[in-house]
Amino acid sequence: MRKMLYDISPLITPDLKVWPGDTPPSREVLLDMKKGDSLNLSTLHATVHLGAHVDALSHCGIDAPSIECWPPERFVGPCEVVRISVDRACLVGLEALTEPVRAERILLVTNSFPDPTRFNEDFAALAPDLIEHLAELGVKLVGIDTPSVDLFASSDLETHRACLRCDMAILEGLVLKHVPPGAYELIALPLRLVGFDASPVRAVLREL
């Protein structure tokens, strides 16, 4: 029997919202077969924090490893999708975990950023002590269905820094509202962009 595959990445279009002040996606057409060229050729202009993306540790750490340094196995393997109840603009704390954590990768569904084409600043985020607790349980990657693991108004990025201390990979900007909670295989490989602080990914979940 064929296993279900869930695409958890938003579509990359000019309508996709990025962090305010960052570079939105746009396409520059260099060659166009409809205009008589022998092939189609285009260039993408965009932030590397685009849609579903992986943060590098260098995103918030001076001299920390950039995105190409993450080992690929961090982003492929058993994963748990957990739906949590949280208010808008609030931090997800330890109390949100009502079931034991059973995988090294955990994706948290907050439903607080429902439309990737409309940027709402009151999305939920993760508490630093939650990151530290997950790290103690052996979790190596945390993902969320919001643009950031920190609240929009955060200036010190405490949760990003907790991930840096814990060597925790961050997967942000996911679309998870159509995914039932449970166990899956995650495939979300970042590009080997040498020196960069993030990379877009095509993130998918496959039923076990």
CATH classification at residue 112: 3.50.30.50
The answer to whether residue 64 is domain-embedded is yes
Give the per-residue pLDDT at 3: 86
The number of folded domains in the chain is 1
pLDDT number for residue 138: 97
Decide: 96 and 83 in contact? Cβ < 8 Å.
Answer: no
Is 39 domain-assigned? no
- Please pick, among 45, 49, 53, 59, the residue that the annotation labels catalytic: 59
In a domain, 41, yes or no: no
Domain annotation covers residue 33: no
* Residue 59 is a catalytic residue: yes
Whole-number pLDDT of residue 1: 74
- Is 118 contained in some domain? yes
Torsions phi, psi for 108 (to 5 deg): -105, 125
What pLDDT score was predicted for residue 47?
98
Ranges under pLDDT 70 in the chain: none
> What was the pLDDT predicted at 186?
98
Domain housing 143? 5-9+49-207
The upper half-sphere exposure of residue 106, i.e. CA atoms within 13 Å in the direction of its Cβ, equals 25
Q: Does 112 map to a domain?
A: yes
On whether residue 44 sits in a domain, the answer given is: no
The pLDDT value given to residue 60: 94
pLDDT, tens digit, for every residue of 102-161? 999 999 999 999 999 999 999 999 999 999 999 999 999 999 999 999 999 999 999 999
| Residue 2 confidence (pLDDT) | 81
Structural domain includes residue 203: yes
Name the residue among 197, 194, 192, 196 with its Cα closest to residue 71.
192
Q: Rounded CA gap, 168 and 45, in Å?
A: 28
Residue 108 is predicted with a pLDDT of: 98
CB 197 within 8 A of CB 34: no
